[in-house]
Amino acid sequence: MTSYLSLVTKYLSAHKKKTRLVVLSVAISVALITGIFSMLDVFQRFEKMQMIHDYGNYHILIKDATKEEKEIISSRIDVRVSGEWIFFRNGSLNGKECRVDAIDESIAPNMRVDLLEGKYPVAENEMMLEEWAAENLKLKADDTLKLIFSDNTAKLFVLSGICSDYSNTKAEDEPAALLSVAGANAVNAEKTTRLYIEFKNGVNVNKAQKDIQSSLHLTDDRIGRNEYLLAVMGQSSADKATELYMTGGILFCIVLIAGVMMIYNTFNISVMERVQQFGLLRCIGASQPQIKKLVRREGLQIALRAIPIGLLAGMLITLFCTALLKFYNKNFFGEIPLFQFSIGGIVAGIGVGFLTVLIASFVPAKKAAKVSPVNAVTGSNDLKISKKKKQGLLTRSFHVETAMGINNAVVKKKSLLLMSYSIAISIVMFLGFQVFIDFLNTSIKTSKPYTPDITLTSEKGLSDDLYSTLRDVNGTKAVYGRMFSYVNATFDASRLTDSYKESMGGIPTKDNGQFAPREKSWLISYDRNQLNWANMDLLEGELSEEKLNKQNGIIAVARNLRNNITTETTSFQLGDKVFIETPNGTKEMTIMGILRSVPFNDSVLSMTTFITTEKLFTELTDEESYKAIDIQLQKSDQEDAFNQIKSLLNSSVTVYDARQKNAESNQTFFTMAVFIYGFVLVIALISILNIINTMNTSVASKTRYLGVMRAIGMSSAQLYKMVLVEAATYSLSGCLIGCVAGIALQKTLVASFLSSYHIVWKFPGAQIGLILLMILVITAISVISPLKRIKKQGVSEAIGSL
């Protein structure tokens, strides 16, 4: 021993178990911090890919750009690529309705238009089709086809190439005809053009946009921004995104604080346990600065051992998330390397780890240095002397071991607060994030139990024979039919939303308060199963087939898709009357339920959507055969089943294949969910480890005390109960604060952000139940190992341990 500081190394290696525990908990905190930072980093990369996939790889667009503007933009040094997309109104292709577009070859890859075979259309008479559409129309490269534009001019084109499928067009059975830009310019039909711009990496999009706008004198309404992508890149200026950043920032700080608190807590406990040792050193002549130096040196040594382990573990957490996403979607995320090194994460882990240990060792070092040598050696330092006398209320209302357990927790106010808050934070975050998950679940149309993979429709109706044959097809999971029709419906004019009235150019109210409908309404029939499924989206009322039949009930739908935009045209209330024109005169129906949305949409513009039972539908429309049949397929051998189904159909039946679209929405949801749950998990881990750690040290520091309790006759069961009650006091008080605050947060979040989506807040009974269960399990787990250690030790050993 050359210096008194080698005491640190000696101490650490003499108390291997204790050292390991401290190193472990510091390592875990570092892992969590590294994990959070890396996850955020990787999440951003994944989400950016997702957004590029969903919304296109462009930052801003300019509407109706002139040739001169185009040239100026493309010659800018900060623009990576720019290109035009020309939109026409729908036309028809060999008799089939289709979209008509033209995209510059330069920007095509950015918009996910990938050439599969042939060549990109360049000449005026060249065009390109999606693979599914070419197959559907039985066309191949170099075939000639006739395209009729919206102004009824017809033109012949040569199919120069085939490109990959777009999920939307496929699901709507509406192919997109992609012309060359030259070809598009040669057509006189009504069109709009947009110039899409992707900036180079690292360009400040907002600044570049301003620059372009001022140099080209572009007004704001000519600029479009890809807010989704910009939001992920952290370059969005939209209010919503800023709010999101703020929320993210706050959540992030909470995680950071929780991690820092855990390191601090561990280190503090480990130093405070040895007050006596430090007192002893003071007795034999150590100065206060020397003690401080000792403690700090210990911190440093622990940090040096813990941080590398933590970094490695943190990277593993991220690896797990990456692997999950890659595994879930090989095609899409396949190119992303499995090992993602987030420099930010590693730097943060090291930085935060060292800093925290340093700070965490300063405070206990100060405390240790302040220890009076006498107090330390006699051991009378445990409690501050309180002036209050104790009346001993607890022992009167509880069994003594319970009372003492509670007391043990309550007496240590600081650790009670620390523990409760750390648990509360995780619960609040869990509950808060749950809102986002719910929101994603409802807003992104992920596959719900009733989402069809394939929909068959026919104007003439689909026969019952076909329906039953389809049910027997190998590989179908569920087959269910819908009838639908467009009816004239009217009701109290005040139930129409202002925006709808405006879009219709004003709708006059008649004397009886009703109005003459400008558009028909979509009437859909549901069978019992479909009504049950719809319960998920029920906002008000109930969905009972019997009651609907008995009381002439119909169900209103709050949100409808018009032109692919979700809109609200009506605001019904339960009990409102709706008058529907039927072949047998007007019929009065009563609104008995309101749904958030329906899982399908139609290209026909309608005023609103109503749902009723099959029986009432037939009464209202005199129609009996299904107009649409929805089919869900089994997971495996989908193509076989699909081909088999197709072979059963005649030409009057249109097939809508929504599988790709469903898969894409699911994946958008999944990408978000992996990271959101990853976050929650990490935060939960922090508090779980905090409980376990605190219980471990709490029990360890009371070895002697517990020994005495056993000596005066406390049984093992009582001992166990006492320690358990102490742990439960921590966790339940945290649980209480967390649940109350979490529920309040949920309610505010739902009320302020999601009310416009018709998401209503419900008491999260199941979530609270889950939380309680988890907390109880964790509490029980947290006391197992310390108690085991205590039991192993003889009573006399424990008492004599000081």
Q: Which residues bind another protein (CB under 8 A)?
A: 379-380, 382-383, 385-386, 389-392, 395, 399-401, 404, 407-408, 411, 704-705, 708-718, 794-797, 799-800, 802
Q: Which is nearer to another protein, 79 or 376 (CB)?
A: 376
In the complex with another protein, which residue's Cβ is closer, 55 or 705?
705
Q: Closer to another protein at the Cβ: 402 or 697?
A: 402
Task: State the nearest-atom distance from the C-beta of 733 to another protein, in Å.
Answer: 17
Report yes or no: 150 and 190 within 8 Å, Cβ to Cβ: yes
Q: Which is nearer to another protein, 772 or 799 (CB)?
A: 799
Half-sphere exposure of 478 (CA within 13 A, CB side): 12
226 neighbors 48 (Cβ within 8 angstroms): no
- By C-beta, is 201 or 386 nearer to another protein? 386
Give the nearer residue to another protein in terms of CB position, either 745 or 795: 795
Residue 329's φ and ψ, nearest 5 degrees, are -135, 85
Q: Which is nearer to another protein, 29 or 407 (CB)?
A: 407
C-alpha distances in angstroms, 238 versus 66, 245, 463?
A: 27, 11, 51
CB of 280 to another protein, least distance (A): 17
Nearest to another protein of 241, 795 (CB atom): 795
Closer CB to another protein, residue 380 or residue 469? 380
CB of 687 to another protein, least distance (A): 26
DSSP character string of 391-442? ---HHHHS-HHHHHHHHHHHH-HHHHHHHHHHHHHHHHHHHHHHHHHHHHHH
Locate 430 and state its tokens: 């869990």
* Distance in angstroms (rounded) separating the CA atoms of residues 693 and 272: 15
Q: CB 15 → another protein: shortest distance, Å?
A: 21
Least distance between another protein and beta carbon 732 (Å): 19
What CA–CA distance (Å, rounded) separates 276 from 266? 18
Of 375 and 767, nearer to another protein (C-beta) is 375
The smaller minimum CB distance to another protein, of residues 711 and 777, is found at 711
CB of 288 vs another protein, minimal distance in Å: 25
CB of 416 to another protein, least distance (A): 13
Q: Could you tell me if 365 and 296 are in contact, meaning their C-beta atoms sit under 8 angstroms apart?
A: yes
CA distances from 106 to 68, 69, 115, 209, 544 (A): 17, 16, 12, 20, 55
Task: Sort strands 609-613 and 521-526 into parallel, antiparallel or unpaired.
Answer: parallel
Please state whether 622 falls in left (phi above 0), alpha (psi between -120 and 50) or beta: left
Provide, rounded to whole angstroms, the least separation between the CB of residue 775 and another protein.
Answer: 25
Q: How far is the CB of 711 from another protein (least distance, A)?
A: 5
Each as own residue / partner, the long-range contacts of residues 538-541 (CB below 8 Å, 24 or more positions apart, any chain) are 538/593, 538/594, 538/595, 538/596, 539/594, 539/595, 539/596, 539/758, 539/760, 540/573, 540/574, 540/593, 540/594, 541/574, 541/591, 541/592, 541/593, 541/594
Q: Of 523, 531, 530, give the one whose Cα is nearest residue 589.
A: 523
Residue 480 and residue 630 in contact, taking contact as beta carbons nearer than 8 Å: yes
Which of 354, 268, 382 is CA-nearest to residue 22? Answer: 268
Task: Check the CA dihedral 107-110-111-114 and report its sign.
Answer: positive
Which residue, 198 or 401, has its beta carbon nearer to another protein? 401
Give min distance, CB of 379 to another protein, in A. Answer: 8
The crossing angle, in degrees rounded to 10, of helices 659-701 and 413-443 is 170
Least Å distance, CB 726 to another protein, is 11
Give the residue with the Cβ less far from another protein, 67 or 384: 384
Q: Which is nearer to another protein, 75 or 391 (CB)?
A: 391
Nearer to another protein, 29 or 729 (CB): 729
Spatial contact of 359 and 303, defined as CB atoms under 8 Å apart:
no
Rounded least distance, CB 376 to another protein, Å? 15
Please state the closest distance from residue 409 (CB atom) to another protein, in A: 10
DSSP annotation string for 46-79: HHHHHHHHHH-S-SEEEET--HHHHHHHHT-TTE
**Residue 417 beta carbon to another protein: minimum distance, rounded to whole angstroms:** 18
Distance CA 88, CA 155 (A): 14
Contacts 24+ apart (CB under 8 A), 213-217: 215/72, 216/69, 216/72, 216/73
CB 198 within 8 A of CB 58: yes
* Residue 518 DSSP one-character state: S
Please state the φ and ψ torsions of residue 463, each to the nearest 5 degrees: -75, 160
Burial profile 367-382: b = 16 or more Cβ within 10 angstroms, e = fewer? bbbebebeebbeeebe
**Minimum distance between the CB of residue 403 and another protein, rounded to whole angstroms?**
8
**What whole-number distance in Å separates Cα of residue 209 and Cα of residue 235?**
12
